[in-house]
Chain A
Amino acid sequence: MLTTGTIIFGVFALVVIASALGMLLSRNAIYAALFLVLNFATVAVLYLILGAPFIALVQITVYAGSIMVLFLFVIMLLGAEKLPAGEPLGHHRWIALLFGLVFLAELALFLVYRAGMRAAVNTPPLEFGSPAAVGMSLFQKYALPFEITGFILVVATVGAILLTRGEGFKGRKRTLEIQSQDK
């Protein structure tokens, strides 16, 4: 039975897979990043279809938004789009292939043996995962973890600045300290 919902889902699911493949297969880092944006945005639509507007918006603002901007900055600053097109994996590709096949076999086995054991998932209430519900939970029950996360981020920021922007290190060389006998 083809409902409108299924058709919309099918179209977007195909776009998700196609953009993921496009990201993997494009040699140019910029194109790969743009495919990833498309992928993130389409996944957000899938979340919307599933009735999770909050996760959909987080997906767009965090992944398609800030993380992608970060990616593009890194590509731009490091000049990764000008890297010579070579095989980046080398001999690892055989290991990757092996793992891929194992994963495929696992999926196939799961489909064969567990296909009859599908259980209906209880549909959560309509307000489940709504922004208001998430906010209430985050700032009441999980207020303490929320605050701690803030301090963890402060520490990480301080560390990043400290380890990359140290003053007085210009002109000093990396040294391995001299030792009378090591190893």
Chain B
Amino acid sequence: MTLTDLMTILPLAVLVAWTTALLLVDLWIPKDRKGITALLAAFGLALTLGLSLARGQQPRQAFGGMVVVDGFAVFLDVIFLASGLASIALAHDYLKRMNIVRGEYYSLLLYAISGMMLMTYAYDLIIVFLALELLSIPLYILSGFVRLNLRSEEAALKYFLLGTFSSGLVLYGIALIFAATARTDLPGILAAVELAPANLTMFLVGGALLLVGFSFKGAIVPFHEWAPDVYQGAPSSVTAFMSVGAKAAGFAALMRVFVVAFPSLSTDLTPVLWGLAAVTMVFGNIVALAQTNLKRLLAYSSIAQSGYLMMAFVPYGQGIVLSDTIAAMLFFLVGYALTTLGAWAVVIAVEKAEGRGLELQDYAGLGRKYPLLGAAMTVFMLSFIGAPPTLGFWGKFYLFRTAVEGGFTSLALLGLVASIFSAYYYLRVVVMMFMRPGEPEARRDPWLVLTAGVSALAVVGFSLVPGSLLNLALQAVLKLL
């Protein structure tokens, strides 16, 4: 380990050091002033964000090729860090209201973000596995943060058991790949498959196990069983972060590992990926039709969104469309992150203690009593459907376009039909807010309103200049190592 190595991953190193210091400093912060901890955590994230942006996108390897920092990693890091900032804003008031104020909340959140950043840097399967654990373990703990609430405890236990199970599958896959190629670094694996006679059956099984393990993390049907219960049981501020961060990190790892090391598997895996994407889109949207609890509705909606994301992954073996499809995925992730965090901000504003205020009826009249909140929620629902003028529209547009370019027109059509179906349950929320009488009580915490407002403005604002955001994503992909 040299100083150059450390400088290459400086943002991550600073974040981890800051978080560990925060864990200690928090001990001296009195219980009724944990806002200071939140502020310090936010400052750490902002500092890391600044360092990430300042170091630029020039690809650089460190630690003997174990990690790489490139445009792809920096782009995703910005998403993770910004989502982290937003979820601190969501958590601050929510924790107080739910009577679960603990300073460790913020440290655990920051550790999870460190894991996600590490995941984007990972260039060796050992780092991929460790990053997966570093991001998962804090999330298991945060899901069970509402002590003595059975739903939260169930969420934590379920997430933990299925999460460790999927980690086991990832590890087994890594072991098989190592057995087949005698390498764990991604370029080494590629070289071993191309040059030396590696054991290809073993290699394929290993790759498939990795795919299954990460599909668990990304809640891809049929590995999604944990998601609705965990999303419902966990504190809403955690769910908001989890549904953005954990999902994006899972897809980042899939993209990096499969594109760099497993292009040879694409002929075998393309039909499987096609099937996963199709089933996830259709299943997520159909089950969401029947939900009346907002947290469960958003959980199934996030499963459906994973299906669209998976679409970007189907043509990963085709060199010509590869950079387009990765850029489309990054673009979609930006839209998804903004929309999801904003929608959860509204849900948290309406949610009451003891799980009340989460049913669809509780939103009756919201649009009339709180026009701004109602307008913001309408924007998020439209963005989830993929209707213009929102970022969700352009996200799906670019995804479907690359799917067609890759020769998967039927998949794009399926996605289009699924989106049209999804309009039913998303619009039901809007109808409830504006056309049904009711006297809802929403929390007017400035940070919540700020998060919802900024997200809504960004979702609409960026949709007016989608080309420049897509260019950013494309540039990031060009600096992909």
Which A residues contact B (CB, under 8 angstroms)? 140-145, 148-149, 151-152, 154-156, 158-159, 162-163, 166, 169, 172-182
What residues on A are CB-neighbors of B126 within 8 Å?
A: 142, 145
Q: List 7 A-B contacts (CB under 8 A).
A: A142-B126, A144-B1, A154-B20, A158-B107, A162-B141, A169-B148, A178-B356
Q: Find out whether the CB atom of A177 lies under 8 angstroms from the CB atom of B356.
A: yes
Q: Chain B: which residue is nearest A172 at the CB level?
A: B148
Q: Say yes or no: is B461 at the interface (Cβ < 8 Å to chain A).
A: no
Q: Find out whether the CB atom of A175 lies under 8 angstroms from the CB atom of B147.
A: no
Q: Chain A: which residue is nearest B118 at the CB level?
A: A148
A180-B361 in contact given A148-B134, A151-B16 (Cβ < 8 Å):
yes
Interface of B is mostly: helix
What residues on A are CB-neighbors of B292 within 8 Å?
A: 181
A175-B130 in contact given A162-B102, A162-B104 (Cβ < 8 Å):
no
Q: Find out whether the CB atom of B133 lies under 8 angstroms from the CB atom of A152.
A: yes
What residues on B are CB-neighbors of A159 within 8 Å?
A: 108, 137-138, 140-141
Contacting A at CB under 8 A, from B315-370, are 354-356, 358-359, 361
Q: Find out whether the CB atom of A173 lies under 8 angstroms from the CB atom of B108.
A: no
Q: Say yes or no: is B64 at the interface (Cβ < 8 Å to chain A).
A: yes
Inter-chain CA distance A141–B108, complex, in Å, is: 28
What residues on B are CB-neighbors of A156 within 8 Å?
A: 137
Q: Find out whether the CB atom of A178 lies under 8 angstroms from the CB atom of B355.
A: yes
A143-B108 in contact given A169-B148, A174-B148, A177-B149 (Cβ < 8 Å):
no
Which B residues contact A (CB, under 8 angstroms)? 1, 5, 16, 20, 23, 63-64, 66-67, 102, 104, 107-108, 111, 114, 118, 126-127, 130-131, 133-134, 137-138, 140-141, 144, 147-151, 153, 156, 292-293, 354-356, 358-359, 361
Inter-chain CA distance A149–B115, complex, in Å, is: 11
Q: Which of B130, B138, B359 contacts A180 (CB 8 A)?
A: B359
For the complex with contacts A148-B131, A155-B134, A162-B104, 14 further pairs of A-B residues with Cβ separation under 8 Å are A143-B63, A144-B66, A144-B67, A151-B16, A152-B130, A155-B108, A159-B137, A162-B102, A166-B102, A174-B148, A175-B354, A179-B356, A181-B292, A181-B359
What are the 4 closest A-B residue pairs judged by CB atoms, nearest first?
A177-B355, A159-B141, A177-B354, A144-B63
Q: Find out whether the CB atom of A141 lies under 8 angstroms from the CB atom of B141.
A: no
What residues on B are CB-neighbors of A144 within 8 Å?
A: 1, 5, 63, 66-67, 127
Q: Chain A: which residue is nearest B145 at the CB level?
A: A162
What residues on A are CB-neighbors of B141 within 8 Å?
A: 155, 158-159, 162-163
Inter-chain CA distance A90–B151, complex, in Å, is: 29
What residues on B are CB-neighbors of A143 within 8 Å?
A: 1, 63
What residues on A are CB-neighbors of B131 within 8 Å?
A: 148
Q: Chain A: which residue is nearest B105 at the CB level?
A: A162
**Closest-CB distance, A162 to chain B (whole angstroms):** 5
